Amino acid sequence: MNRIDFRSDTVTVPTDEMRRAAAEARVGDDVCGEDPTVNALEREAAVLLGKEAALFVPSGTFANQCALLTHCRSGDEVLLSERCHIVQHEAGAAALLSRAQLRTLSPDSPHLRFEDIAGRFREPGDFHYPRTALVCVEQATSDGTVVALEELREIKKLASARSVPVHMDGARLFNAAAALGVTPAAVADTADSVAVCLSKGLSAPVGSLLAGTVPFVGEARKNRKRMGGGMRQAGIIAAPGRVALREEVPRLAEDHARAKRLAAALGAVPGIELLREPDISMVFVRIPGWKKESRALVAALDERGFSVYPDEGGVWRFVTHRWVDDAGVDGFAAALRELLTRS
């Protein structure tokens, strides 16, 4: 039986077309700007995101941290949500690399809002204050919610008026665009620089892109080198990324539809409480009907061919992606129904 993996959209393995593209990629020394496949990927990403230029980097964490390093001097201040990936899941890299001060804000909503940053910009001129160098937003957020573009535009307008750039952690920017029914460029337009991941729901094996103006990306290229991210014949890994942008971006809406199907199926199971309608590919539930340890549920599902992560504080997250089909969704809901009936 095929295993179905609901743990994350990072578990997506490359498609056959990606493997072929990697094998056949024309390559050169990318540190010298001579890898035609990397150059093509960077150009295509810039066009898709409506930015002047883009830079191919090893990971989403790398893209975010390279953006911080490029926008900030050490001791500068960054306004961002305490819940965001840069604060929670990048192992304190900002303290190590850009040495910027992360001023973590605690929004009432799942995402950073205009009200959270208004009044937080430091007045220049007083030497006691750090310089406010950057605002960071996420779209979609790490917990799978999509932010209305109008809200992001308000933040950008406020920051621009203070001459402060906005960086968007768009690890799932393409998901957000699909969910909103707008182009990726329309989403990226609400920030000065954007990071996108090729290796989450897009199935590429590795890589992210950092996009922005030509001068910004030029500086970021130097910082990528400093961070040890200058790669030589990187076309081998960039080639699947080109396939991802061309073939996988347009099909993300299918993953979202499947998440809605999963939400509906789980919502109908007694003992499962659906927390909200999914915006993208992530479904969040509580399972009060399961009286034993979480680990036992993970193991029971595993025996039935389904991989899930244990709950975090009672909340279970199930993620749909390219390698989860309708039959997998229905089978998973049926397995949970059976387990909860017996427990």
Ligand X SMILES: *Cc1c(COP(=O)(O)O)cnc(C)c1O
Nearer to ligand X, 94 or 287 (CB): 94
For residue 239, the minimal CB distance to ligand X (Å) is: 18
- The single-letter DSSP state of residue 244 is I
Instruction: Report the residue number, 116 or 169, with the smaller CB distance to ligand X.
Output: 169
Q: Find out whether the peptide bond into 118 is cis, omega within 30 degrees of 0.
A: no
DSSP 3-state of 283:
strand
Is residue 184 within 8 Å of 48, Cβ to Cβ? Answer: yes
The terminus-to-terminus CA distance of the chain in angstroms comes to 25
* Residue with smaller CB distance to ligand X, 131 or 309: 309
CB of 204 to ligand X, least distance (A): 11
Query: Are 211 and 193 in contact, with CB atoms under 8 Å apart?
Result: yes
DSSP letter for 131, please: P
Question: What are 325's two structure tokens?
Answer: 């089909």
Whichever of 122 and 193 has its CB closer to ligand X, that residue is 193
Which single residue brings its beta carbon nearest to ligand X? Answer: 60
Q: Measured from the CB atom, is 61 or 70 closer to ligand X?
A: 61
* Cα(56)–Cα(27) distance, integer angstroms: 14
Per-residue tokens: 246: 């061309």
Contact of 216 with 67, CB cutoff 8 Å: no
Least distance in Å: CB of 210 to ligand X? 12
- Residues 6 or more apart from 335 whose CB is under 8 A from it? 301, 304, 306
Smallest separation, CB 12 to ligand X (Å): 12
Comparing CB distances to ligand X, the nearer of 35 and 169 is 169
CB of 187 to ligand X, least distance (A): 14
Q: Are strands 166-170 and 193-197 parallel, antiparallel or unpaired?
A: parallel
Q: Which is nearer to ligand X, 240 or 331 (CB)?
A: 240
> 148: Cβ–Cβ under 8 A, 6 or more apart, which residues?
180
Binding positions for ligand X, rule: CB under 6 A: 59-61, 64, 85, 138, 142, 169, 171, 197, 208
Q: Which of 224-230's residues contact partners 24+ apart within 8 Å by CB, and which partners?
A: 224/55, 224/57, 224/62, 224/66, 225/31, 226/69, 227/62, 227/65, 227/66, 227/69, 227/97, 229/57, 229/58, 229/62, 229/66, 230/30, 230/31
Q: Which is nearer to ligand X, 105 or 297 (CB)?
A: 105
Provide, rounded to whole angstroms, the least separation between the CB of residue 280 and ligand X: 11
Shortest Å, Cβ 84 to ligand X: 7
What is the closest distance, in whole angstroms, from the C-beta atom of residue 195 to ligand X in the complex? 7
Contact indicator for 103, 133 with CB cutoff of 8 Å = no
Shortest Cβ 269–ligand X spacing (Å): 28
Question: Would you say 104 or 343 has its CB closer to ligand X?
Answer: 104
Query: Residue 159: how many CA atoms within 13 Å on its side-chain side?
Result: 27
